Structure 1
Amino acid sequence: IIPIGSEYSRNLISTKQLANTFLPLLVGSILITLFVYAYMKAMQKREAEIQKLKYEASHDELTTLLNYRTFSNYVTQIIADKSSVYTIIMIDLDNFKQVNDKFGHLEGNRLLKKFSIKLNNFFGDKLATQASVFRFGGEEFCLVFKNIPEETAYKLIWKFERSLTDENYLTTDGQQVAISFSGGVASTDQETNIHEAIRKADAAVYLAKSNGRAQIVCPDQVDS
């Protein structure tokens, strides 16, 4: 016969021992969970900040197109790629200074943004794996096509140019401004490396401007 008092006393001791063992484990588990959660959130925030910095370093702030630094890095990679053909299209907006002088730089920036969106939608979205769209600065842009024949690229840029004539730029006060550009096209081959192709395309732009603007010059192609 065990006295009731003694059994109750043993139960109290057992419960107290359990509490002394379980509570520290519970508190420890909670603290570990909170620490892991805080660490994961900090890592996610850090990764998001790194991705943001990478994006800002590689993209033009105004137009969100790839910037000149990214273009330079891309050209460095192209030099080592001997198995692919690259077509360069240089673009320079016509009479852009007149837009700034007449409507102001804010309106000029709006025009650059709209043109960049059209350019990226036409080439960057449709040919995402084969076309890269860059802003050099000011009103100058560059397209780089990978393994797209020069003739095809030439026809595409003419198609894009014609699409601009169907829709004039509308200023904030409702005035219409026609957008046109001068372009130059050149490709790499066994005798022409990427730097030479860029120089040829750039020279073709100045030839287009000297011939009256709103033209696309490619020495190897005939306008169609």
Structure 2
Amino acid sequence: MAGGAFVLIVSRLSDFTTKDIVRIAALERDVMRDPLTGAFNRRYLDHKLDEEINRSRRLSRPLSALILDLDHFKHINDTYGHPTGDELLRHVCMLIDSHLQTMGTVVRYGGEEFVVVAPDHDINAADALGNRMLRHIADRPLILSDGTKLTVTASVGAAEFDHNDTPAELLLRADEALYVAKRNGRNQLRTATRRQVVTAALEPPLCPFPRGPDGLATMDERSRQQF
């Protein structure tokens, strides 16, 4: 084979590989991102929690998960319309992401719920982080096109990873803590402990929402309207 032909083949292979890598990266980004807010989605959350749980076990480092739910979001949609509701979701996602920086990862969990995965945060650090996020959101209203300031509050449930937890169990405890925050007036954070899960097995369930096949609480439309 002539030297020039060999160089041409290698060059074209290199170009193809570079383009292929870019294309694959773009596809992965689209698959792992929520199209509305640009936050990571639940598919990414599954991967991220597995990764961080393995890291926590290997290095004996703390790990916490926080579930944040916007208060009275249905009322906002009904009053201002769904486009404004979508804009508010993007606004809140941006606020969470800008506040977290390198401290954690924000995921749109569904509807008006976001999950924050916070490596190296025990429950006290997660409590402080969650309360800072609540103030950050409440202090920065969304300015609508007509100049209206749309202030929103949120409720947060936080749970620290126990080394016997599965990802579903960690999120379940955060979800139950979120329900307590909602039940006690909203615009606040509540933390979960391992003891709450043990107690729940002996007493009526803390969270009345139906459970999905993975054990996580789900909220139908009628349930969500209560909050």
For 2:46, the aligned partner's letter is S
Q: How many residues align?
A: 189
Q: Residues 93 and 180 of structure 1 are in contact (CA less than 8 Å); yes or no, is this contact kept in structure 2?
A: yes
Identity of aligned residues (%): 29
| Aligned pair partner of 2:37 in 48, 59, 63 | 63
Measure, in 2, the Cα distance between the counterparts of 1:163 and 1:75.
Answer: 25
Q: How does 1:165-176 map to 2 (within 5 A)?
A: 165-176=138-149
TM-score, normalised to structure 2, is: 0.74
Equivalence for 1:73: 47
State the SS of the aligned residue for 1:185. Answer: strand
For structure 2, the 5+ residue unaligned runs are 194-227
Cα RMSD (Å): 2.2
After the TM superposition, which of the residue ranges 71-80 and 176-185 deviates more from structure 2? 71-80
| Aligned pair partner of 1:209 in 182, 191, 200 | 182
1:51-100 deviation digits (Å, cap 9, x = unpaired): 00011111111111111011112233345442332111111011111111
Q: How does 1:25-44 map to 2 (within 5 A)?
A: 29=4, 35-44=9-18
| Aligned pair partner of 2:86 in 109, 112, 117 | 109
TM-score, normalised to structure 1, is: 0.75
Equivalence for 2:22: 48
Q: Residues 65 and 170 of structure 2 are in contact (CA less than 8 Å); yes or no, is this contact kept in structure 1?
A: yes
For structure 1, the 5+ residue unaligned runs are 1-24
Distance 1:188 1:32, change over 3 A: closer
Q: Residues 78 and 194 of structure 1 are in contact (CA less than 8 Å); yes or no, is this contact kept in structure 2?
A: no
CA apart distance, 1:169: 1.4
Distance 1:219 1:175, change over 3 A: same
Q: Residues 50 and 167 of structure 2 are in contact (CA less than 8 Å); yes or no, is this contact kept in structure 1?
A: no
Q: How does 1:80-159 map to 2 (within 5 A)?
A: 80-81=54-55, 82=57, 83-123=60-100, 125-127=101-103, 131-159=104-132
Distance 1:195 1:85, change over 3 A: farther
Measure, in 2, the Cα distance between the counterparts of 1:43 and 1:102.
Answer: 51
CA apart distance, 1:44: 2.0
Larger Rg: 1
| Aligned pair partner of 2:161 in 188, 202, 210 | 188
